[in-house]
């Protein structure tokens, strides 16, 4: 269900400005490919943790996507929380995320 802010015609000016800012903020918060990939990686990790799937190969087959793609995206579960925050804020590219190793200290250096 989508929610939309609709201001009455006789609304106070401050409220109208605030509603316009909220609408603009919502438009700019569209999920980037980086955020979608981080979400997928986390989702797939939860499927493995819950025992719904035993491997990434099973996930790839169930999702109908290439195993190599699942493996590349799944690597994002090893990205440090500080880097994830930067990615969500739009300060880290997908290429940079994919190139990072598993060591959090080296990622944040």
Alpha carbons 45 and 71: distance in angstroms, whole number: 11
Name residue, tokens 């579960």. 77
Instruction: Please give the tally of structural domains in the chain.
Output: 1
Is residue 49 in a domain? yes
Name residue, tokens 């099973």. 58
Alpha carbons 82 and 70: distance in angstroms, whole number: 23
Name residue, tokens 């969500």. 88
Is residue 53 in a domain? yes
Is residue 37 in a domain? yes
Query: Is 4's pLDDT higher than 70?
Result: no
Q: How far is CA 100 from the centre of its chain?
A: 17
Radius of gyration, CA atoms only, the chain: 19
Reported as a pLDDT band with limits 50, 70 and 90, residue 32 is confident
Q: What is the pTM of this model?
A: 0.66
Is residue 22 in a domain? no
Q: Which domain holds residue 74?
A: 33-107
Query: Is 36's pLDDT higher than 80?
Result: yes
Percent share of the chain, pLDDT over 70: 75
For residues 2 and 16, the model is more confident at 16
Is residue 10 in a domain? no
Name residue, tokens 């190139």. 99
User: What's the pLDDT at 55?
Assistant: 96
């Amino acid at each position: 269900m989508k929610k939309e802010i609709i201001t009455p015609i006789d609304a106070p000016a401050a409220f109208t400005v605030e509603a316009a800012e909220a609408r603009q903020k919502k438009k700019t918060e569209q999920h980037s490919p980086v955020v979608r990939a981080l979400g997928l990686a986390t989702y797939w990790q939860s499927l493995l943790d819950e025992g719904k799937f035993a491997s990434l190969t099973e996930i790839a087959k169930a999702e109908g996507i290439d195993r190599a793609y699942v493996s590349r995206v799944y690597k994002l579960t090893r990205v440090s929380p500080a880097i994830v925050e930067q990615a969500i804020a739009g300060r880290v590219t997908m290429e940079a995320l994919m190139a990072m190793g598993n060591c959090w200290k080296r990622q944040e250096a």
